[in-house]
Amino acid sequence: MAIATFAPVLDAVRGIAWPALRRVRSSIPGPHVSVVRGSTDEFVEYRPYRQGDDPKKIDWKLVGRTDRVYIRVSQERAILPTMILLDATASMAFPTATHAKWDLARRIGIALAAVARHRGDPVGMTIVHPERARTFEPRTRRTVLEEMMRAVEIAAGGSLPLAPATVDAMRRSARVVLISDFLGDADALLSAGRTFAAAGNELHAVHIVDEGELEPDPRKLLLADPEQPETRRPMSPPARAIYLRRFGAWREQLARDWRGAGASYVLAVTGQEPLRRTIRRITNPETGARRSSG
């Protein structure tokens, strides 16, 4: 039944492309511009012939016109293995009635996996959960999406740091998507991400926030951390004002930090926009931002 659950997700992302943000280093042919110049049909430029070049690349028509020997240089395209890391800890199981954060996170994860696989990129997934953790190696196999859909049909819960799984995912691929609320080991994640992005890899941080976290229900006077139940605070009107200020400042700082680390940062709020728009903002940060604001 996982396919039935996520069928709307797959429909929503139909036709969306997810180009790499920078030239990829892979040598396996794929959809993304590679750092390697090759002999494909995608002409890029002429280069004077040097000893050792393949004579088959000589453009004889140009020789006839210019009396100079030039070879055709074309753009190589390669795959970009993608790993999607899903935070399935207790903080994602909010609100308790709907688990809207976890639902949005896994829909984004499946949607991105579908977009990547559709373009021919190997896609893998790591689900961070104390008891139901799963890791899928980046693959292009047709059944990989179905396996992922089944794997994400769990309930979020428990407490577990994301950094180790993130580091492992970064070793497996050149594009990593972190889908989390970043309420856990954010500093360790940022440090790993900074290193990953500095190595020329592509990093996306998708920050999941619930509407109830942006505007907590004023009728609820005492609030507790689901991952640390002993942490409880009262939400009086003055405390609410302080909370909104602090939480907003933290989100802004988080966005600056991730962008400063070389990652793209997208804030996804439950129930605020259609999934397709969110995916567009992730897969095409500049155009997605224009379309969101437009």
Partner 1 sequence: MTFLAPIFLYIGMAVAAGAVALHFIVTRQPTSSPLPTVRFIPVSSVRVTTVAPVPEDLWVLLIRVLAALLIGAAFARPVLVPERRPVARVVLADVSRGVAQIEEVRDSSRRLLADGDALIAFDSAPREITNFADSLATLRKSGAEAKLSPALIAALRTASELRAAVDSIELVIVSPLRASALDGATHAVRALWPGRVRLVHVAASADTLAPQVGITVRAADNDGVAIAAKVAGIAASDAAVRLLRDTPTAADSSWAAAGRRALVRWPVAGAPPGWRARATVDTAGAVIAGDAALVYPLERRWEPDSAASPLRVVARWVDGEPAAVERAVGAGCVRDVAIPVPTRGDLVLRPSLGLLLRALGAPCESTTGSSAMAPADMLSLSGTGPLAASDAIEPPDTVTTPLVPWLLGAALFLALLEPLVRRGSPPLWDEDLSEEPVDQRGAA
Beta carbon of residue 259, minimum distance to partner 1 (angstroms, whole number): 17
Measured from the CB atom, is 7 or 239 closer to partner 1?
239
Q: Tokens 């953790």 map to which residue?
A: 133
Measured from the CB atom, is 170 or 183 closer to partner 1?
183
Picking from 260, 248, 80, 279, the residue whose alpha carbon sits closest to that of residue 179 is: 279
Beta carbon of residue 30, minimum distance to partner 1 (angstroms, whole number): 38
The amino acid that residue 179 corresponds to is I
- Asked if 91 contacts 183 with a C-beta cutoff of 8 angstroms, the reply is yes
CA distance 258 to 250: 12
- Per the document, the length of the chain is 294
Measured from the CB atom, is 75 or 98 closer to partner 1?
98
Q: Which residues bind partner 1 (CB under 8 A)?
A: 90-92, 94-96, 101, 181, 183, 186-187, 210, 212-213, 216-217, 220-227, 230-236, 239, 242-243, 246-247, 249-250, 253-254
Measured from the CB atom, is 187 or 273 closer to partner 1?
187
Picking from 79, 81, 82, the residue whose alpha carbon sits closest to that of residue 32 is: 79
CA distance 105 to 178: 10
Measured from the CB atom, is 72 or 251 closer to partner 1?
251
* Per-residue burial over 139-160, b = 16 or more CB atoms within 10 Å of its CB, e = otherwise: ebeeebbeebbebbebebbbeb
Beta carbon of residue 220, minimum distance to partner 1 (angstroms, whole number): 4
Beta carbon of residue 246, minimum distance to partner 1 (angstroms, whole number): 4
Beta carbon of residue 255, minimum distance to partner 1 (angstroms, whole number): 12
Name, in order, each residue with C-beta under 8 angstroms of 110's C-beta and a sequence gap of 6 or more: 6, 9, 10, 145, 148, 149, 152
Under DSSP, the state recorded for 26 is -
Under DSSP, the state recorded for 35 is E
DSSP letter string, 152-170: T-S---S---SHHHHHHHH
Measured from the CB atom, is 44 or 235 closer to partner 1?
235
Beta carbon of residue 276, minimum distance to partner 1 (angstroms, whole number): 26
